[in-house]
Amino acid sequence: MIPELFSSYGPDTAAVAIPAWLDLSAVVAGSFTGILVAKERSLDLVGYLALSILCGLGGGLIRDTIMQVGDVYMLRSSYAIPVTVIAAILGFLFSGVLHKFPNLLNWADIISVGLFVAAGTDKAIVYHLSPWACALMGTVTGVGGGMLRDIFLGDVPKIF
């Protein structure tokens, strides 16, 4: 089970192939942004779970659907979905700690977008997409989860 955290995905391991643990850290950072928004909106546990999953896995799901090559990361990884669920539960249980840091959502968004852009671009490179497609897949992966979060909450996505 542990070797999966350090293995690459895709048919060509000679390509860039960032480590799987970096992919998972993007999922955790994205989930954290969902948790922060759920806290801000005073949602219940189901709201925390939904936003954690949307923000942690939504951008990658959009990317994998558009690319139509390889597999869907959130379904293949044995860690992705459980990590978002555990993060949501911990965020719900210990949400009182989160109000002490006023700009935490902005910083978490910045970190998660950066990690997701790297992961999305890497997956496109591994599957030998054109440079333009790689840039697009990185962008979609980076902003997709936050965009879905805002749409599901009835807001105009902040990225727009």
pLDDT, tens digit, 9 for 90 and up, residues 129-144? 999 999 999 999 999 9
| Top-confidence residue, 79 or 4 | 79
Mean pLDDT of 3-18: 51
In this prediction the pTM is 0.84
Helices 20-40 and 104-126 pack at an angle, to 10 degrees, of: 150
Distance, in Å, from the CA atom of 79 to the CA atom of 57, rounded to the nearest integer, reads: 12
pLDDT value at position 160? 81
Angle at 7 between CA 133 and CA 108, to 5 degrees: 65
First to last CA, the chain: 40
pLDDT value at position 12? 47
Q: Show me where the domains of the chain are located.
A: 19-152
Structure tokens at 139: 């962008």
Distance, in Å, from the CA atom of 73 to the CA atom of 147, rounded to the nearest integer, reads: 19
pLDDT value at position 15? 54
Mean pLDDT of 70-99: 89
Mean pLDDT of 101-116: 89
CB 120 within 8 A of CB 137: yes
Q: Please provide the size of the chain in residues.
A: 160
Mean pLDDT of 13-25: 74
Position 16 confidence tier, pLDDT thresholds 50, 70, 90: low
